[in-house]
Amino acid sequence: MAKETLSNSAYLETLVARLLNECKGKDKIYIYGAGARGRYLEGFLSENGIKIKAFVETCISNTNEIKGIPVISVDESDRNYFYFLCASMRYIEDIKAQIHKRGCKNYYVVDENTVLAVKARTHYVKPSTIRRGSKYVLLYHSVLPSADNDYWNITVTKENFEEQIRYLADNYHIGRFDEEWETDDEPSVVITFDDGYANNYKFAFPILKKYHVPATIFVCTENIDTKCKFWFDKLSELDLKENTKEIHGTLRKSSSVQREQFFKNFPRQFLADETCRILSSNEIVELVDSGLVSLGAHTVTHPSLMFQSKEDQFFELNESRNRLEIITGKEVLTFSYPFGGRNIDYDNTTIKIVGECGYKKAASAFAGIHYAGDDLYQIPRNSQRNCSLPDFIHNMDANWSIYS
Ligand SMILES: [Zn+2]
| pLDDT tens-digit readout, 161-188 | 999 999 999 999 999 999 999 887 888 9
Q: How far is the CA of 365 from the centre of ligand 1 (A)?
A: 9
Average pLDDT rounded to a whole number, residues 377-381: 97
The answer on pLDDT for 141 being more than 80 is yes
What's the gap in Å between 228 CA and the centre of ligand 1? Answer: 16
pLDDT tens, 56-112? 998 877 668 998 999 999 999 999 999 999 998 888 999 999 999 988 889 999 999
DSSP 336: E
Neighbours of ion ligand 1 (CB under 5 A): 194-195, 338
CA-to-CA distance for 220 and 200, rounded, in angstroms?
A: 13
How many Å separate Cα 69 from the centre of its chain?
Answer: 25
Distance (angstroms) between ligand 1 centre and the Cα of 38 equals 26
Q: Is the pLDDT of residue 4 over 80?
A: no
Q: Measured in angstroms, how far is the CA atom of residue 45 from the centroid of ligand 1?
A: 35
- Of all residues in the chain, what percent carry a pLDDT higher than 70? 97
For residue 339, report the distance from its CA to the centre of ligand 1, in Å: 6
Query: At 1, is the pLDDT very low, low, confident or very high (cuts 50, 70, 90)?
Result: very low
| Contact call for residues 297 and 321 (beta carbons, < 8 A) | yes
Tell me, in angstroms, the distance from the centre of ligand 1 to residue 178's CA: 18
The residue extents of the domains of the chain are: 10-120, 135-402
Which residues on neighbouring strands pair with residue 294, listed in sequence order? 216
pLDDT at 271 over 70: yes
Tell me the whole-structure pTM to 2 decimals. Answer: 0.90
The contacts of residue 235 (CB under 8 Å, 6+ apart) are 244, 247, 248, 251
What confidence category does residue 38 fall into, taking pLDDT thresholds of 50, 70 and 90? very high
Q: What span, in angstroms and rounded, lies between the C-alpha atoms of 99 and 81?
A: 11
pLDDT given for residue 163 in this prediction? 98
At the topology level, CATH places domain 135-402 in TIM Barrel (3.20.20)
Ligand 1 centroid to Cα of residue 345, in Å, is 11
* Residue 284 confidence (pLDDT): 98
How many A from CA of 173 to the centre of ligand 1?
26
Residue 132 has what pLDDT?
84
Q: How far is CA 189 from CA 137, 169, 203, 331, in A?
A: 6, 9, 21, 23
Ligand 1 center to 305 CA (angstroms): 12
How remote is the CA of residue 366 from the centroid of ligand 1, in Å?
Answer: 13
Q: Which amino acid is at 152?
A: W
The pLDDT value given to residue 128:
81
186-226 per-position pLDDT tens digit = 889 999 999 999 999 999 999 999 999 999 999 999 999 99
Residue 242's pLDDT band (cuts 50, 70, 90)? confident
* pLDDT for 8: 59
Q: Is the pLDDT of residue 2 over 50?
A: no
Sign of CA dihedral 170, 171, 174, 180: positive
The reply to whether 135-402 shares the fold of 10-120 is: no
CA of 236 to the centre of ligand 1 (A): 15
Give the mean pLDDT of 5-9: 59
Which CATH class, in words, describes the domain spanning 10-120?
alpha beta
Mean pLDDT of the chain: 93
Please tell me whether residue 205 adopts helix, strand or coil conformation.
helix
125 or 156, greater pLDDT: 156
For ligand 1, the distance from its centroid to the CA atom of residue 66, given in whole angstroms, is: 31
Instruction: Identify which has the larger pLDDT, 63 or 356.
Output: 356
